[in-house]
Amino acid sequence: MDSYLSIAGLALSIAGLVPALYPRSRTKLWTFTTAVFSLLVLIGIYQVYQERVEQRAIQASKSDILALLEKNKNGMSFEQMYDSMYYPNFATANSAIDELVEDGRVVSEKIEASTNDAKYVVRKFSLRRN
């Protein structure tokens, strides 16, 4: 939220330059138009930046997951991978494993696990073997 408020402040600052640049024109109209246009452009740039940061984080998580699965040939559950990751973020790790499964580099299968007379179904992920 702070980023959006900073962007709005910057857009208003840019719009504040209009009276200095166009002293004898329709100042209110040009100031408003400049503020709106600046706001739209700055928010667009910020969203693209945020998307790139998120994609980099997903790529780093994908590399971590592939390295973990390479070490553990029998496969791992999501929780095991998440606990073994370096500075994990749940949403990023989840997106990374989803992309790896979608790309066909990782396969998932459901297995039955039991503890203390209780049975659970757990999803196990492993590298695709050709």
Query: 11: domain CATH number?
Result: 1.10.10
For residue 85, how far is the Cα from the chain centroid? 17
**Which residues are 108's β-sheet partners?**
125
> What's the chain's average pLDDT?
84
For the chain, how many structural domains are there in total? 1
C-beta of residue 11 within 8 angstroms of C-beta of residue 39? yes
Range of lowest pLDDT (3-12, 43-52, 53-62, 90-99)? 3-12
pLDDT at site 99: 93
Report whether 58 contacts 96 (CB < 8 A): yes
112 has a pLDDT exceeding 90 = no
Please state, in angstroms and as integers, the Cα–Cα distance from residue 112 to each residue in 56, 98, 109, 115, 117, following that order.
Answer: 34, 21, 10, 10, 12
The structure's pTM equals 0.72
Domain that holds residue 30: 2-127
In the predicted structure, residue 117 carries a pLDDT above the cut 90: no
Is the pLDDT confidence value at 25 over 70? Answer: no
Q: Which of the two residues, 70 and 16, has the higher pLDDT score?
A: 70
